[in-house]
Structure 1
Amino acid sequence: MFATEESAATYAGRIDHDGFAVIEGVLGNDEVSTLRQAVETLGEREEVLRRGSIYGVRNLLEVLPAAAEVAAHPALRSLVRPVLGDGCFAVRGTLFDKNAGANWSLFWHQDSIITVREKRETPGFSKWSQKAGVWHVEPPHEVFEQMLTLRLHLDDCGPDNGPLRVLGGSHRCGWVDDEIEDWKRSTRETVCTAAAGGVVVMRPLLLHASSASASPSHRRVLHIEYAATDLAGELEWNTRISGA
């Protein structure tokens, strides 16, 4: 993805400073088309239908082999390695599909939940819940400081498709629940539009939001989270997918 070590270092520095970047053309048209076809089969899978709508599928890396494969794709890993190192691995995947039949908006927030294999009470980990048979927990913010999220677009996402909006730099301050209004006043938001095959790279602690789509067309995003370190104590990531 990056022609030189210097360009990779510049990219990593931008992620550290701003908390995000939009990289176009990460996957080609044929690869994106194959992924779209795979996503369309989710409606035929009993484990997905049993757990709810196909417009917001949790545990995507477990239920869709094509998603697990793309999480290990060299082009995607090339966006993660400069930030997290060569030992990075995918830990969670989610499908988001805004369209005329399933539309929503999200208020400003930070990602605050990870998924683990088993519930094991551990200092600093709280707000345990079980969704779709998987344990979810809020870790210390230091865990998210060592993670990176890639949002791979399967459809063109313009200003009318409910794109991600972010407040650059907000990821550097830990949990900012009580400071969101201050960040909104002091920081100009960036709208992260992207063409199909493009990727929005972001730190999970970056304040982000999105509006409902004003277009009837699909806005499908594969949201893939990466880490590079083990969890504390006896906790284990629910999923762990490394490169080939």
Structure 2
Amino acid sequence: MTLSDRSTAQDTLEATQRTQIRRIPQRGDYDRETIDRILDEGLICHVGFVVDGQPFVIPTSYGRMGDCLYIHGSPASRMLRSLSGGIEVCVTVTLLDGLVLARSAFHHSMNYRSVVLFGTATLVQDFEDKQAALKAFTEHIIPGRWAEVRSPNRAEVQGTTVLSLPLHEASAKVRTGPPIDDEADYNIPVWAGVLPLELQTTAPIADPQLTSEMPIPEYIRGYSRRSVVSNKTP
């Protein structure tokens, strides 16, 4: 089966012992559409694993295609070499949407969307599958870029380790809305509410090595993570 043959198999994931949301369970969500949208909007995941009793948590970029999350890097990477051996891994992605300011210090919080994924990674070895995964990484970060740049050559593809992690055991957790204060605190004369946060770009900076005055592509000028999600295909 090639990467292009894989498609979403479940609309809702079954909660497992590891993914069951126990603290404030009403914030838990096992719907694949919710999970996929969070993964598609995020840019960085944190990969947790244990080697010889020593835990590691490594931030890295990623890409999603259908039912799999993909990570990649140098064959010399300790993380990738360790995960290639079939050890258990935990991957998290978090999007911070706002600071929740309550009337009491105790009830201050944050609005967020997060995904926790458990499983065992598999080494992607087929050349075309690796090429497809590398395209997914690029398009995840900035859609439209792959069609304009030079594609990786065979040596570059073969010199890159690509791992796939199935989206079979995962859950999302989401907080939205205003602060929730104790009833007795609602009369305290202090401002309360939400300070929204959003990842935004600033003006693009041209590479000084450009040999001519080149227009900035529309996919760069109109870039936003929300637009990335809205244009993402399953």
Query: TM-score when scaled to structure 2?
Result: 0.25
- Higher relative contact order, structure no. (Cα contacts within 8 Å, ≥ 6 residues apart): 1
Higher fraction of helix: 1
Whose radius of gyration is greater, 1 or 2? Answer: 2
More strand by share: 2
Q: How high is the TM-score relative to the length of structure 1?
A: 0.24
